[in-house]
Amino acid sequence: MKTVPDSIQNPVKVALKNIGCKLNAYETEALSRTFHTKGYHVVPFNSKADVYVVNTCTVTGSGDSDSRKAVRKAKRNNPDATVVATGCYAQRCPDELDQAGADLIVGNDQKSELVDRVETLREGSLSLLPSKDSPFPREHFLSIDGLVEGGRTRGMLQVQDGCDEHCTYCIIPSVRGKSISRPKNAIVEQAKKMVGAGYRELALTGIHTGSYGYELEDKLALVKLLKDLEKIPDLLRIRLNSIEPAYVSDALIDYASESNIFCRHFHIPLQSGSDTTLRKMGRHYSRQHYKNRIEQIASRIPSCGIGADVMVGFPGESEKDFSETFNLIRDLPMTYLHVFPFSKRDGTPAVKIKNHCSDEIKKDRSKRLIELGKVKRREFNCLHIGSIINPIVEDTGKSDSAMQTGVTDNYIKTIFDGPGEVGTIVSVKVEKARDEVVYGTVVK
């Protein structure tokens, strides 16, 4: 009688937790896929596992705090587990995560080796802390070659890493390194594998996606890449997760307005609508430039979903500066906002700027912009009442629920009643709209 190997009878359980940006989310899914292909059983983070991986964030103080909490939670879930911390906070403050209880700390420059390091640690011993003088990789991007167990219906695809902008408030260039573009052939090959595995929408992501190809002095590289991806059979949608205002070129808008599969959705960080504040931030565009880009997109691409990141309470931001931001957003065809209060990051020039805003001012300005964002989102959603929209069906995880969820190409979250296979595009007639979601019924 043939015996079943112990590794199959009792597979090692791994749980992963993502904190932070969409690139972090991509990397977490890529790590999940790699663990799965090596025979690990991926389980929810709240359950008992043998290995926990926390992909940390350090953009704000709350990202640091959430990262430490996740490491401590993993230790509480299973004190005997191997707890791994990686990501930007791990790159910046490995000692603090060591104190929180991490058994292995892997910086961004070593993330492609994480799974191998976990296996080495479980077999013997391994240094806990990343080397602070190790160079950032110029070629090792994490890859996804198939459906991610427990991952998203809409796939993410990394095309770039790092940033050369050095905004005065941002710590990311010091923890992610210089901007580097992933080779186009590698991107296209991964995209083909993901589509072959069942993904029908791919969202391109990076730290500074718009700068794709710029270090190679090819400012049209992103548009060329998009056109090559569009040739892949069975790929129904391509989305950009985010792109900086200075990199929204006429060529990109032309392509987006003519493409059959590029999503009518742009997320373009604003941060501030005050030229004075933008200069202090080290942002390389003006209020007028941002206004022109948004208006051109809206005029060329009807019903386009347009979102922005906005920061409040930057040092020295006056009520007049804030009003300029508020009024610019109010008057533009934006459809949603992500609002953040300024967070001090040691080592950034913004810490030394005088006249820091109080927490009360930050809270008040955040609240006003969040309310404006809700109004913008509700108005955009209400425009679609009575019309037919086409979301991609997502897995709700609730097998007993008759209602399904999906997201349209112009970034409208949809809850609907009717048949629809996960990963397919369905036609839904919108009957009701709320701040964050529309409701409807599948029609043929």
Q: Which pLDDT tens digit goes with each residue over 124-141?
A: 755 544 444 444 444 468
DSSP per position, 219-266: TTHHHHHHHHHTTSTT--EEEES---GGG--HHHHHHHHH-SSB-SEE
**403: three-class secondary structure by DSSP:** strand
Taking residues 222-248, what's their average pLDDT? 96
| Of 135-144, 177-186, 369-378, 424-433, minimum mean pLDDT range | 135-144
DSSP per position, 289-303: HHHHHHHHHHHHSTT
Q: Which pLDDT tens digit goes with each residue over 319-367?
A: 999 999 999 999 999 999 999 999 999 899 999 999 999 999 999 999 9
Q: Measured between alpha carbons, how far is 392 from 411 in angstroms, rounded to an integer?
A: 11
Six-digit token pair at 353? 């700027």
Six-digit token pair at 143? 């890859």
Q: Report residue 9's pLDDT band, with 50, 70 and 90 as the boundaries.
A: low
Six-digit token pair at 8? 């199959």
Q: What is the mean pLDDT of the chain?
A: 91
Helix 287-300 vs helix 319-331: crossing angle, to nearest 10: 10
Q: Name, in order, each residue with C-beta under 8 angstroms of 397's C-beta and a sequence gap of 6 or more.
A: none
Q: Which pLDDT tens digit goes with each residue over 269-279?
A: 999 999 999 99
Model pTM greater than 0.85?
Answer: yes
Q: Name, in order, each residue with C-beta under 8 angstroms of 77's C-beta and a sequence gap of 6 or more.
A: 15, 45, 46, 47, 48, 49, 52
Give strand pairing partners of 394: 405
Q: Which pLDDT tens digit goes with each residue over 12-36?
A: 999 999 998 989 999 999 999 999 9
